[in-house]
Every structure is written in structure tokens, then in C-alpha cells.
């Protein structure tokens, strides 16, 4: 375990944390801070503004889908550099956007660039480099996205309040570039051999256990299992589209922007801590049990947030709801790896991730439009609680189906 945090393995982890912090923490997790200020400035509804995140997530999904075809050993660094320039550059240009159409176009550009260097690439690189403690490494990288959101949500909120949302986008663009630099500058590669290294755990015999796990995985992923897993990923991703609306939820209850940003920050702290906890527990107990436990806690958080309009209890609810990122990100990755095996993962996960990201994209705008129609978030929060129960049934069915396979 000591070797896990040394040398090029540590560099891969740092690079993965930086990419996750940029594409999830500074793209998705802080997006809700901009909804209300933009809507008020341009004189449009929140649903119309939240559609920017929908468009961003749709092309983010497309970028993730084509990532395995675009990024190879020979062009790994070049693709990272190009994606960073487009991602950070289009975010900076949002500061000059005069209308919704321009916002939609620029969010499409930055969404695709973020998708190329996003979840699919991060998890494939981690799978290539680590044969042991894979869930833990994945969870640490994914947790950094929540940490980035927790640290920079109040900072960006303060900047938006004092200097406006346009300046907020300029600061966000600079942070995105900073977070992606380690992946570009550190001497790592797409595969360990590209950097003159061996996969972590190979010397310790983890390679043998990984081969055994691969032998136990189905050689051809069954369509029924694919449908069940994808359905789970869709619902988990949809539920994870709620936290960007936490500032709006606080506003709808009559609280200040500071309460809303605090809700989001607490959620992001739970995001980080929940992912690390999930990875550590999943390595020991398996993804199924931990997904079901976390789903139960998320459903409780949704109901608490709807029923109790007191800051203290709302903060506790936000902490519980923040676990949604663990089951949507690390949970889907870990379950896919357990159900498809390491080799099958590279072909199964991009498809599952693309469809789930599309669900997240529509989920964000759906929550906004539900608020516009009803004038509150109660219906959306009840739906989130119901969906967590369905998710538990789906992930349980996935493992039952696999167990019955020859």
C-alpha cells in the first residue's frame, strides 16, 4: 500500500484528481451558482438557464463515448492539451455571452472537451495503471471533484455576488486550466509502459488475481445485464443532477444566497468523503451492498430536505444527499468493473456512461422546469426519494442475474 502513494503511481493519482476536479468539480458541481444570476440578468426563467447544463452534459456524454477512439498512447498528452484549451477557453468566453443562444453554444463546446478528458478517460487510465486497490484509487480521484466544489463554491458565489456572473466564469476558466496542468506536465502515460513503469500490484501478485477476476467475468456482456446496469446508472445520474439546484432550493424557502452556497458546499464535502468511503468499503464488501446502503441514505436526505425548512436540518440533509455522487460515479464504475471484468469494462462503461450522462443532462433541466411549473421543489424531491428505492432493486437484480449465469 505504501507504494500506492509514491513515484509515478502518485503522479497518475494527482493527474486523475486534477482532471476530475476540473470536469466535475469546476464544470458540473458549481454550475448551479450561475443559474439565478444569469436568469435575472438576461430576464429569462431558471429552466431556460439550467438548459445550458443539459446541453453541456449531452455533449459531455458524446465526448466520453468517443474518448476511447480519440485518445491513444501516441497522442495522450496532445489530446489532453487540446481539450484543456477548448474547455478553459470556452468557459472564459461565457463571460462575454450576450444571450442564451451563445451560452448554449459555448456550453456545448466546453462540454465536449470536458467529456474527452473526463470520467471515461480517468477510469480507463486508472484501470490501466492499477491492478490492486482500483476502487480506492478511483474513489480518491472522484472525491477530488467534490473537494473542488466544496472549496470553490463559496469563493465563486462571493465573486458572483460582488463582481457578477461574468467575472465568475473568468475565474472558473483559470481554475480549470490550473487543475488540468498536472495531467499535461507530469511524466505519465496512457499505459504504464508508456512511462517505463509496471501496473501497480503486478509485482505483488495482484496481476494473477486480476486475471482470475477477468476469467470469472462473462466473455460477452449479456443484453439483460446491460439493460439493468444502464437503468441503474440512468437513475443514479438523474438523482445526482439535484445538488446544483440547492442554491435555488434555499432561495425558494426564503433563505439567503449564503445558505444556498453552504448547502452546496456541505454536499460537496459529502461528495468527497462519500466517494472515498465508498471505494474503501467496495474493495472489502463489493459494490452491491454499499450502493444499496448509500441509496437508502440519499432517499432519507431528499425527504428531510423537503420536510424541514430549518438551516441546521437542511445542512444534514445536504450531507446525506451528497452521497449521490458516490453511487453515480464510483458506484457505476465499480459495479461495471465487477460485472464486466477489466477487459470488458473498456467496451461496456463508455456506453453506460454516455447514456447515464444524458440522463443527468435532462435531469438538471427537468428539475428546473418542475420548479417553474409548481413554484417549489417538493415534487422533484419526492421523485428523488422514490428513485433511490428503484435503484436498490436494479443493482440487486444485476448481481442476481450475474450469479445465475453459467
The answer to whether residue 322 is domain-embedded is yes
Residues spanned by the domain of 252: 10-200+214-404
pLDDT in tens, 372-391: 888 888 888 999 999 999 99
Question: Can you tell me the distance from the alpha carbon of 33 to that of 250, in angstroms, rounded to the nearest whole number?
Answer: 12
The answer to whether residue 2 is domain-embedded is no
The answer to whether residue 209 is domain-embedded is no
Question: Can you tell me the distance from the alpha carbon of 359 to that of 346, in angstroms, rounded to the nearest whole number?
Answer: 21
The answer to whether residue 368 is domain-embedded is yes
The answer to whether residue 5 is domain-embedded is no
The answer to whether residue 141 is domain-embedded is yes
Contact yes or no for 381/299 (Cβ under 8 A)? no
What the block records as the C-alpha cell of 236 is 443514479
The answer to whether residue 331 is domain-embedded is yes
Counted domains in the chain: 1
Contact yes or no for 246/131 (Cβ under 8 A)? no
Q: CA torsion angle for 269, 378, 61, 33 (degrees, to 10)?
A: -50
179: pLDDT confidence band, cut at 50, 70 and 90?
A: very high
Question: Can you tell me the distance from the alpha carbon of 236 to that of 245, in angstroms, rounded to the nearest whole number?
Answer: 16
pTM confidence score? 0.78
Instruction: Please give the share of the chain, as a percent, with pLDDT higher than 70.
Output: 94
pLDDT, residue 211, reads 43
The phi-psi region of residue 371 (left if phi > 0; otherwise alpha if psi is between -120 and 50; otherwise beta) is: alpha
Helix 7-20 and helix 165-185, axial crossing angle in degrees, nearest 10: 160
The CATH number of whichever domain residue 279 belongs to comes to: 1.20.1250.20
State the DSSP code for 198.
Answer: -
pLDDT in tens, 66-120: 888 888 889 999 999 999 999 999 999 999 999 999 999 999 999 999 999 988 8
Contact yes or no for 64/115 (Cβ under 8 A)? yes
Who wins on pLDDT, 352 or 358?
Answer: 352
The answer to whether residue 49 is domain-embedded is yes
Amino acid at each position: 500500500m505504501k507504494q500506492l502513494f509514491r513515484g509515478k503511481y502518485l503522479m497518475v493519482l494527482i493527474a486523475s484528481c486534477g482532471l476530475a476536479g476540473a470536469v466535475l468539480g469546476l464544470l458540473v458541481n458549481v454550475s448551479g451558482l450561475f443559474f439565478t444570476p444569469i436568469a435575472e440578468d438576461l430576464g429569462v426563467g431558471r429552466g431556460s438557464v439550467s438548459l445550458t447544463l443539459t446541453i453541456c452534459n449531452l455533449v459531455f456524454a458524446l465526448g466520453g463515448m468517443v474518448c476511447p477512439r480519440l485518445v491513444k498512447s501516441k497522442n495522450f498528452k496532445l489530446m489532453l492539451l487540446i481539450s484543456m484549451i477548448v474547455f478553459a477557453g470556452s468557459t472564459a468566453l461565457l463571460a462575454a455571452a450576450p444571450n442564451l443562444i451563445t451560452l448554449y453554444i459555448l456550453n456545448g463546446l466546453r462540454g465536449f472537451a470536458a467529456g474527452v478528458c473526463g470520467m471515461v478517460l480517468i477510469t480507463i487510465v486508472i484501470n490501466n495503471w492499477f491492478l490492486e486497490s482500483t476502487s480506492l484509487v478511483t474513489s480518491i480521484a472522484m472525491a477530488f471533484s467534490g473537494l473542488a466544489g466544496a472549496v470553490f463554491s463559496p469563493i465563486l458565489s462571493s465573486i458572483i455576488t460582488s463582481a457578477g456572473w461574468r467575472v465568475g466564469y473568468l475565474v472558473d476558466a483559470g481554475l480549470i486550466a490550473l487543475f488540468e496542468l498536472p495531467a499535461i506536465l507530469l511524466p505519465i502515460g496512457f499505459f504504464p509502459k508508456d512511462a517505463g513503469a509496471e501496473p501497480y500490484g503486478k509485482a505483488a501478485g495482484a496481476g494473477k488475481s486480476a486475471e482470475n477476476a477477468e476469467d470469472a467475468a462473462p466473455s460477452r456482456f449479456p443484453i439483460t445485464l446491460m439493460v439493468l446496469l444502464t437503468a441503474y446508472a440512468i437513475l443514479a445520474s438523474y438523482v445526482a443532477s439535484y445538488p446544483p439546484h440547492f442554491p435555488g432550493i434555499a432561495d425558494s424557502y426564503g433563505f439567503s444566497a449564503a445558505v444556498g452556497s453552504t448547502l452546496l458546499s456541505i454536499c460537496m464535502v459529502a461528495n468527497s468523503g462519500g466517494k472515498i468511503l465508498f471505494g474503501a468499503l467496495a474493495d472489502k464488501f463489493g459494490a452491491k451492498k454499499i450502493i444499496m446502503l448509500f441509496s437508502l441514505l440519499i432517499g432519507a436526505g431528499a425527504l428531510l430536505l423537503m420536510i424541514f425548512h430549518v438551516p441546521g436540518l437542511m445542512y444534514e440533509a445536504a450531507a446525506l444527499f451528497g452521497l449521490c455522487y458516490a453511487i453515480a460515479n464510483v458506484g457505476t464504475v465499480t459495479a461495471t468493473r465487477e460485472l464486466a471484468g477489466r477487459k470488458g469494462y473498456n467496451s461496456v462503461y463508455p456506453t453506460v456512461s454516455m447514456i447515464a450522462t444524458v440522463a443527468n443532462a435532462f435531469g438538471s433541466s427537468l428539475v428546473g422546469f418542475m420548479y417553474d411549473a409548481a413554484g417549489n421543489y417538493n415534487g422533484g424531491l419526492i421523485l428523488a426519494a422514490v428513485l433511490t428505492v428503484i435503484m436498490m432493486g436494479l443493482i440487486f437484480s444485476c448481481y442476481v442475474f450475474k450469479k445465475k449465469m453459467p
